[in-house]
Chains A and B, each alone.
Chain A
Amino acid sequence: MSAFLDMGGYAAYVWPAYAVTLAVIALNIVWARRLLKRSRKDALQRLAIGGSDQ
């Protein structure tokens, strides 16, 4: 296990690389869902104020 974590001496490079990439993936998921949620809320708000014209 510790041999695996050591990555043949490259741990200081390999793990940060994976960490950054996985962080980017996770953040993308969070951002995308937040965008969708926010625009849903905005749309509801607009409907509440203006009703639908045209």
Chain B
Amino acid sequence: MNTNTVKITTNHLNLYYGTNHALKDVSLNLFTNKITAFIGPSGCGKSTYLKTLNRMNDLVPSVKIEGEVLLDEENIYDPRVDTTLLRKKIGMVFQQPNPFPMSIYDNVAYGPRIHGIKNKSELDDIVERSLKGAALWDEVSDRLKKSALGLSGGQQQRLCIARALAVEPEVLLMDEPTSALDPISTLKIEDLMDELKEKYTVAIVTHNMQQATRIADNTAFFLVGEVVEYAPTTELFTAPKDKRTEDYITGRFG
């Protein structure tokens, strides 16, 4: 396992959507400054797992969660937890680039403003820093006041990453962040993720196995709600221990 210190631990996590047992006894560690990839066939619970990490699943009415998720050793499902703070610490980027229909600047400043930063020059600073962090500054610095919807798909996705960075998270969750993008934009985002892991702990769901091999330090393979195998990426993709993993990654499994 490509380890470091543990950032997030899930212990015996079970999740039910009504009667649908969507996550089955998932125990995993995410490591600081590593990229962890989640792969698996459609509907196997990858997104669900990702969402349990910043409690976005709270919004689903029928959901029931058992087990614990520790962030820096604090249980995020403790009733005392302020989900606002939690989500500030654990940012999320989605499959479809989803910038708000506002200017580029306002998109990035959205988070900081929510968290009470009003000062103009401070905001300017954050916006610039975040856009640079998302490798987008050079492309948009001269049109910060233009609508974010005018950006290309790849730029929009990087904007969403910048927006997540602006609240200074510690963990970045990404649910298939490049599946809506063309190959060139995808490569750009992959390069970016590699840079991001210097500062953040990154978890990414991807359908593109090559992508997992390219960027992830560790990879977990999910199958109908279970973690079949969790190993350093190279190991998982070269010498998987489980037959099902091998079948899946070699495309022999549907």
A and B assemble together: no
* Chain A interface residues (CB < 8 Å from chain B): none
